[in-house]
Amino acid sequence: MPRHPTTASPRPARFVVKVTRYAIGSVVALLTSVIAFALLLDAGAGTTAASILAFIAGALPNWILNRRWAWERTGEMDVAREVVGYALISLIALGASSAGTGWADAYLRGHLAHDHTLRVLLVTLAYVLVQGVLFVAKFIAYDAIVFSAGRVRPAARRGGWSAARLRSPELESDASA
């Protein structure tokens, strides 16, 4: 017997909404960072400096859109998990984008040294490709670690640094006693 649309689980729909919002936030962040990267590279900045500054330019809207919109997290932050976790993932992504664009730039300087505009476009494309590869890995890390709602007990969250109060069998038995 076919399921009636109103009896379907809301869980898959919420996941689709989260992925869609994450994708939109990632596009906003990517466009912000790509514009910054291309402008900096065209102005003569090296690929490492351009990657770092462009990454920061994109990370700010990415954090806000992911935390508040995609994962619907508001209020007090779990500093250890959210801020430190996001920063670590960001540093890994920054390293990957710097390495990818550095390699592309070095390769293209040897082959397209005479065409600055084409080199800027191709190195910027390398930046976009690296971000595309990281898209899925970052979603998984954000969902499982950084913005996961089920890892911290609500009572512990009100007490501040809730990373020290992760859910454990000992805490569960204490709470039920």
Q: How far apart are the first and last CA of the chain?
A: 45
Measured distance CA(38)–CA(47) in Å, rounded: 10
Domain ranges of the chain: 10-150
* Whole-number Å distance between alpha carbons of 16 and 139: 13
38-67 tens-digit pLDDT: 999 999 998 889 988 998 999 889 988 998
Provide the Cα torsion 105, 44, 95, 19; round to 10°. Answer: -90
User: In which band, very low, low, confident or very high, does the pLDDT at 97 lie, cut at 50, 70 and 90?
Assistant: confident
Bridge partners, 79 (sequence order): none
pLDDT band at 158 (very low <50, low <70, confident <90, very high): very low
- Which pTM value belongs to this model? 0.64
- How many Cα atoms within 13 Å fall on the side-chain side of residue 93? 30
